[in-house]
């Protein structure tokens, strides 16, 4: 009931993720980024605790593959999970349990990976990867949003989407972008509109934290 993309910007070093679902408040349960660690997507029948745990493992020096293996080994509910991890070096690891909701699929690309469950078409993740790779000069947020839109156009989920979110972490200890849409029709389009409003304000919010003496 979810499809998502995890990614890294080679130019800026930012890490980020975008997700959408027919399930309410998907970003609060499935979306995890940290600049010194990477990205974790916790999907299908979600255990949100796996997100911070995966980030901690990668921040301690584990690769995405190593962190994923530890998450799966420590989770008795792993047959019901779908996980994506990307570490700070761009390494990717994906896992879909045997009891995840079909149709399930995943794809990997340059500095990105996409996956979904309860999909209307198995080609959704590959379409997302293609959209992300097709806009290398755009900001990471815009590439992530383009990937969500491409996934929707490729068939999306079997159910009507109700929520979406995008998060990007830079060199701060907190995400510089953390935008969410809930219980709205066409949440991907609404998320893109919210980004258009937030984008020009973002530098000011960052500088308030890092250089309050300027105000």
Average pLDDT, consecutive stretches of 10 residues, N- to C-terminus, the chain (215 residues): 96 97 98 98 98 98 98 98 97 98 98 98 98 96 98 98 98 96 97 98 92 83
- What stretches of the chain adopt beta strand conformation (E)? 2-8, 15-21, 31-34, 38-44, 81-87, 92-96, 105-109, 112-117, 163-169, 175-182
Is residue 205, in this structure, part of any structural domain at all? yes
The total number of structural domains in the chain stands at 1
Is residue 6, in this structure, part of any structural domain at all? yes
Domain ranges, residue 118: 2-209
pLDDT at res. 213: 84
Please compute Rg for the chain using Cα positions: 16
pLDDT at res. 91: 97
pLDDT at res. 61: 98
Is residue 214, in this structure, part of any structural domain at all? no
Is residue 215, in this structure, part of any structural domain at all? no
Are 42 and 30 in contact by the 8 Å Cβ rule? The answer is: yes
Instruction: Count how many residues are written for the chain.
Output: 215
- pTM > 0.85: yes
DSSP β-bridge partners for residue 21: 2, 163
CATH of the domain at 109: 3.60.20.10
């Amino acid at each position: 009931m979810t499809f998502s993309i995890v990614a890294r910007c080679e130019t800026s070093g930012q890490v980020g993720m975008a997700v959408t679902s027919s399930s309410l408040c998907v970003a609060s349960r499935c979306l995890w980024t940290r600049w010194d660690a990477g990205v974790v997507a916790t999907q299908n029948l979600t255990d949100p605790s796996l997100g911070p745990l995966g980030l901690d493992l990668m921040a301690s020096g584990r690769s995405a593959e190593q962190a994923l293996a530890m998450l799966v080994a420590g989770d008795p509910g792993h047959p019901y999970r779908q996980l994506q991890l990307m570490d700070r070096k761009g390494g990717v690891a994906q896992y879909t349990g045997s009891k995840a909701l079909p149709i399930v699929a995943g794809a990997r690309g340059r500095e990105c990976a996409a996956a979904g469950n309860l999909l209307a078409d198995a080609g959704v993740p590959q379409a997302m990867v293609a959209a992300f790779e097709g806009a290398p000069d755009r900001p990471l947020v815009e590439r992530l949003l383009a990937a969500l839109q491409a996934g929707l156009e490729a068939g999306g989920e079997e159910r009507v989407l109700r929520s979406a979110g995008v998060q990007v972490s830079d060199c701060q200890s907190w995400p510089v972008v953390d935008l969410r849409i809930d219980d709205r029709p066409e949440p991907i389009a609404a998320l893109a509109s919210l980004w258009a409003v937030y984008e020009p304000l973002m530098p000011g919010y960052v500088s308030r934290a890092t250089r309050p003496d300027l105000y």
